[in-house]
Amino acid sequence: MPTQVDLPIPMRALLAGARRKQSTLLDLTRQLVWAESPSDDKAAVNACVALAAKRARDLGGRVKLHRQRGFGDLLEARFGTKPAKAADEDKGAERRILLLGHLDTVWPLGTLKAMPCRLGEGRLWGPGTLDMKAGVVMAFTAVEMLIETGLLNREIVLLLNSDEEVGSPVSRPTTERLAAECSAVYVLEPAQGLACKTTRKGVGNWRIDVTGVAAHAGVDFEKGSSALRELARAIETVSGWTDLKRGLTVSVGVAGGGTKSNVIPAAAWAEVDVRIARKADGPRIARKFAGLKPLDQSCALAVIGGINRPPMERARGTVKLYRQARALAAELGFSLEEAASGGASDGNFTAALGIATLDGLGAVGDGAHARHESILVEHLAPRTALLAGLLATCSSQGARDTLS
């Protein structure tokens, strides 16, 4: 039977253990990378999910696959004791921890041919190494070390989804439901440089469609109303909502319209990326989009969109987790900084529920979503030991009620 653990956690011993497991860790990471898993290929993602599910079962995990229609399945694996009776459930939730990750990548099938998975220059290279297959394997390794050292003193829930890279459309409810059962969430996304992430921006997407009136640009110029000209005005307007001091950015990423140069265009469109640092800016910017009006009355605007992920604000519960992580890292001999990211992750969802969330606890490396995607091997063992230490230490009781 696992017993209550007395602090302090033997971090140096965990580090030595992680070093001994490093080659196994790299092997499994390679296997996951070889199982290419673009978000839009259900069968491919599921093959990768199956490898992870096997690993979870081998570690004695209680595995549940949440089947999906349009995307790969979600893998839920539970380790450690679960509360014996329903009456103890509240106590379980006080101590239960969610490890959150994903197995899908942005890379299409066949990427490995041009971007092979290989070790070199102190790195493991390849599609999905950093974002985030190494992070997933680090989580398995951390759990394994806790089991072997008798430090697994609570229930740990690992949730790996298959749709994170496309905004988590189907996994979000499961992520939120499982997070609500836990007192802390550790996100296995890559570190930012060497830092973990205590703040992430929220993300919104909008689309603007303009309908104008087509006409011959030479013969009937006066009869036309240019959808492109109206769109250009709208682009100028929404771009002007950017407020860097507030951490609010509005960026028109793609746009199009028109048919031929001698036709006044009857249709034009644009897709807009919005980032917010403050929750309150979500409804504010949504009202602005809803209020967009054409200057040329013969044109019509149709605007759809909304905030997809709320911002992860630097809440007290998160700061508390960060301080624990920093203290454990110091015992391991490195300093762990905190950082703010302009990008979003599934941690945005759990943080917005008021659950203490610390992000960026996965691998250290470079080039997520880029040709030079790779992890730095030297950081694997220390970061895995850190994760194990966090899972064993986490005294997140009260983290929830101190959140604003």
Residues that bind Zn ion (CB under 5 A): 131-132, 189
Min dist. Cβ of residue 374 to Zn ion (A) = 15
Residue number with CB closer to Zn ion (10 or 167): 167
Residue number with CB closer to Zn ion (227 or 344): 344
Residue number with CB closer to Zn ion (100 or 299): 100
Min dist. Cβ of residue 202 to Zn ion (A) = 16
**Nearest partner of 13 among 129, 145, 170, judged by Cα:** 145
How many Å apart are CA 119 and CA 392, to the nearest integer?
Answer: 31
Residue number with CB closer to Zn ion (193 or 283): 193
Min dist. Cβ of residue 105 to Zn ion (A) = 8
On the CB side of 187, how many CA atoms lie within 13 Å of its CA? 30
How many Å apart are CA 258 and CA 274, to the nearest integer?
Answer: 25
Residue number with CB closer to Zn ion (37 or 225): 37
How many Å apart are CA 218 and CA 264, to the nearest integer?
Answer: 9
Element (H, E) at 157: strand 156-161
CB 316 within 8 A of CB 157: no
Q: Are strands 365-366 and 374-376 parallel, antiparallel or unpaired?
A: antiparallel
- Ranked by CB distance to Zn ion, the top (closest) residue is 131
**Residue in this structure with the two tokens 């229609």, named with its chain if needed:** 69
How many Å apart are CA 74 and CA 53, to the nearest integer?
Answer: 10
Min dist. Cβ of residue 132 to Zn ion (A) = 5
Min dist. Cβ of residue 248 to Zn ion (A) = 23
Min dist. Cβ of residue 74 to Zn ion (A) = 15
Dihedral over alpha carbons 106, 40, 351, 134 (to 10 degrees): -50
Residue number with CB closer to Zn ion (104 or 230): 104
CB 5 within 8 A of CB 388: no
Min dist. Cβ of residue 111 to Zn ion (A) = 16
Q: Are strands 97-102 and 156-161 parallel, antiparallel or unpaired?
A: parallel
- Edge-to-edge strand list for the sheet holding 97-102: 62-66, 74-79, 156-161, 97-102, 184-187, 356-358
297 backbone dihedrals φ, ψ, rounded to 5°: -65, -15
Residue number with CB closer to Zn ion (132 or 184): 132
Min dist. Cβ of residue 373 to Zn ion (A) = 11
Residue number with CB closer to Zn ion (128 or 389): 128
